[in-house]
Amino acid sequence: MTLLAKGWKSSAQKKEEFSNKGDDFQNGVETSTRLQVAKPPPKDGAMIAVLADTQAVTELPLEEFQDEAVVGRISEYIKAAKGLNLAPDMKVLKTRLLRLSPTILLSETFLAQPDDVPALEKQLPTGCAECDNVPLLVGKDLEDLFKDIRSTTVNVESTCGGIDLAFAVSGRTYVLSHALTCESDSFSATLIHDLSEERPRLVFKLAGGF
């Protein structure tokens, strides 16, 4: 088994298991496993356990770059896409383009209510506590990586979070992202998408709430 975080990788083995049945935050997981790692992990940031040897797991860099035409296309999509279920007065703050490979391009677009825009612009692009984030796979179509956990009605709370890291296993490319409703802390989700095909395929989802 391998544990992977941004800029860090270690082999791991099972140390103990414990029950989650009494936890207030429910995500459907009844039992958790504590792992023992070969070297100290980073203090902060997302981490994923992969059932593969450390030599078979490789972190992939997400290189940020600029392209005004692509950013404009994404902004127009976000303003018009009914499937995103965003509040109608949301304003686009910033779009980050992240090149994963010559053929895979990701983006993160941060949005906010008009009254929050001036304050939140000072905190981006690292994210904030009260903005919406729309992570996309950019290609012929724009694919919302949060569509499987996004509200089916107009969101009344901001869906924050975003893209954490990308990695490869056995020749396939994956991206790890997380989402949460940070204003109430009532919901969070961890998602892994396989990006090896033309369209992203959700291969892992862990979601829960109070």
Residue 40 has a pLDDT of 87
Q: What is the model's pLDDT at position 23?
A: 65
Q: Are residues 104 and 68 in the same domain?
A: yes
Q: Give mean pLDDT, residues 69-78.
A: 96
Query: Does 149 reside within a domain?
Result: yes
CA atoms within a 13 Å half-sphere pointing along the CA-CB vector of 8: 18
Report how many domains make up the chain. Answer: 2
Expressed as residue numbers, the domain containing 197 is 63-209
Between CA 137 and CA 134 the distance in angstroms is 10
What is the C-alpha to C-alpha distance for residues 184 and 158, in angstroms, rounded to an integer? 10
Clarify whether residues 41 and 9 are in a common domain.
yes
58 inside domain: no
Q: Is the pTM of this model over 0.85?
A: yes
